[in-house]
Structure 1
């Protein structure tokens, strides 16, 4: 990908691609870098002359990254949270046909470990150059692939099918009937084959509405980009009603506080001292509060702040979240210390805000 980053970004924007798995990046190191157009590449490689894998994200999803696992220069994964749904994107580059069997087995062992480490309820999307042909037709393999592969299956293609069976995944490319031009992923020297695939968990295949090879792009000389349209099903959790609570936070308003004080004094018969029976006094205070301040509906409200919340706390929490995301991506000692410091700062601000709110409330309730 050396020197082609901006071309890839332009292509992704033109084709409206949000996430792209790339192989043979040939970039040494384990970093994340901008490639232009708001797109960011997370990559891993150990040699500038061979291998290397990466995942490119559209700018709006960069801050959704929770974890990056760089297993080897052939396997890496990236976990994102999108509207409450955990999505794991895995990029892979399998050894070519002429490589030693030991190297191929090591690759599949690493790939198995990555998939097995992901919780079953989370989404998994694999974008990989498996260097194998799963072939046309699916007799005996209907549970993991469709009928629309290309040509005959080879040994490396059988490894892909076996992997899909072990991990209960579906080879997405093969389920959509397209012209051969939109199924061939690799062209070189008169040869046309299918070696690049997108896989997802069989249980989530219903979220995929289309998959095809993009024709007419010249970013990669021999490989063609495989695109998949996937719409996440976000299930909203049902939440029960909460207990109706007095809106004590309204006492922060001076006029409301004065109204509450006068009403409470009136109910107590104008006495300067509270009755000896605390239970009776407490009930009088609560009842007066309900009448003057009102009560909540008993329904949860998204984004409802707690009664002691203020702008200082909100700003500190925002900084803490940004620091956490930075640490998750970079994993450096400096970013870790920065995150720890923001945690301590939030605790201090929360304690100060609560104490200030309590003092204000106690002052208003004093008669």
Structure 2
């Protein structure tokens, strides 16, 4: 049994007032500072943890691929068999030649398609059995363009199946296709991820000349006008052509092979900021669906990054500003306030002490304003930024519509200028 002297030393019992001087509490406050504690540390009674903002991490591996199949009639079962064999989760198919805007099950895959003629065009997207329930939106724009939206690992992913007009078609048809594609991509929030897979009937060339930020430097053949249009589009929306970013043997880059030609006209695009997502991109030349087009696949790894929302809707004391000197001052003040006097059960005494602690701490430490709504992260989107972004979009629209080479060079410079001004406005906003 401890002696009165030992008890006095342990609790710092004041001989004059016979009150407990909370030395241990002062030490606790100093320790609180050193360990970055928070207001919740002042609660003595154990309780369930509130949302702590702890990050739950992991990844979801995904394989996506575009394929011009020539016609889907009589091939759907064989197509799905290949997709399963190659572990492809999402396939963007072109030239389906199926009429209608419908959906159907194909051996465990869900197929959404859009087409207007049994003789030409038509696009579709197939999703495997594990992901089909994650599809939250389907949009059919035309017989050359459609998109679906999925939620995977806490991320929203928009997948676009695109079939660009062939080289021999008129400029108006090509212009309409890119206008539709522009509108689709512009309507996808920057917070969402994008994968565009399709037959673009264009050659981006073997080198990245003039387009280092969107062309990875690996390709096949010479660039043509359609390739320049695709690269301009990618540059305008800050996308990168994934299958130009990996050094491969020619067989694993050629997406179209016939008796008279072998070239690259099928592509996969995604945001430049998501370059870390794709791990590989290649052609699988051995798979055949009686079409000159070859199956192109890209391996993605989408990080699960779910952060629980912090309970921050009320003002909080910034305990990080507590110093040893302030903790000593607080101890003295709490004595004056009678924080440790009184009688009753433990809960009553603690509630009184905790109230005194918060009352005094709020006068000597800063208090957060709390979260009263609003959109975190939207602070930069002001009128000036919005105006600069619209100017950039207008400049790009003029660039795409222009067919004169000399005028196009002038418009390209104007577009680059407006793009730079928009970036500066966002950075300084």
TM-score when scaled to structure 1? 0.65
Q: Which entry has the higher C-alpha Rg, 1 or 2?
A: 2
Contact kept? 2:153, 2:305, Cα under 8 Å: no
Displacement of 1:70 in angstroms is: 0.3
SS in 2 for 1:139: coil
Structure 2 gap segments, 5+ residues each? 1-71, 314-344, 349-429
Specify the alignment match of 1:129 in structure 2. Answer: 199
Displacement of 1:12 in angstroms is: 0.6
Specify the alignment match of 1:109 in structure 2. Answer: 179
Distance 2:269 2:291 in 1: 23
- What is the count of residue pairs matched by the alignment? 246
1:199 lines up with 2:288 in the alignment:
no
Deviations 1:296-317 (A, max 9, x none): xxxxxxxxxxxxxxxxxxxxxx
Specify the alignment match of 2:15 in structure 1. Answer: none
Displacement of 1:35 in angstroms is: 1.8
Deviations 1:47-106 (A, max 9, x none): 111000010000111111111110000010000111221000000000000000000000
Deviations 1:259-285 (A, max 9, x none): xxxxxxxxxxxxxxxxxxxxxxxxx9x
Map 1:245-256 to 2 at 5 A.
none
Specify the alignment match of 2:246 in structure 1. Answer: 176
Distance 1:107 1:242 in 2: 47
Distance 2:275 2:200 in 1: 20
Map 1:225-240 to 2 at 5 A.
225-240=295-310
1:22 lines up with 2:82 in the alignment:
no
Displacement of 1:190 in angstroms is: 2.5
Specify the alignment match of 2:371 in structure 1. Answer: none
Displacement of 1:238 in angstroms is: 4.3
Q: Relative contact order (alpha carbons < 8 A, sep ≥ 6): 1 or 2 greater?
A: 2
Specify the alignment match of 1:88 in structure 2. Answer: 158
Distance 1:19 1:221 in 2: 20
Specify the alignment match of 1:327 in structure 2. Answer: none
SS in 2 for 1:159: helix
1:41 lines up with 2:111 in the alignment:
yes
Distance 2:173 2:312 in 1: 57
Runs of 4+ in 1 over 4 A off after TM superposition: none
Specify the alignment match of 1:321 in structure 2. Answer: none
Deviations 1:303-353 (A, max 9, x none): xxxxxxxxxxxxxxxxxxxxxxxxxxxxxxxxxxxxxxxxxxxxxxxxxxx
1:221 lines up with 2:291 in the alignment:
yes
Structure 1 gap segments, 5+ residues each? 244-283, 288-367
Map 1:238-317 to 2 at 5 A.
238-240=308-310
Displacement of 1:220 in angstroms is: 4.2
Distance 2:312 2:274 in 1: 33
1:119 lines up with 2:189 in the alignment:
yes
TM-score when scaled to structure 2? 0.56
Displacement of 1:189 in angstroms is: 2.3
Specify the alignment match of 1:75 in structure 2. Answer: 145
Distance 1:142 1:67 in 2: 34
Distance 1:30 1:142 in 2: 38
Distance 2:290 2:234 in 1: 27
Specify the alignment match of 2:231 in structure 1. Answer: 161
Distance 2:273 2:297 in 1: 20
Deviations 1:220-255 (A, max 9, x none): 420001000000122121444699xxxxxxxxxxxx
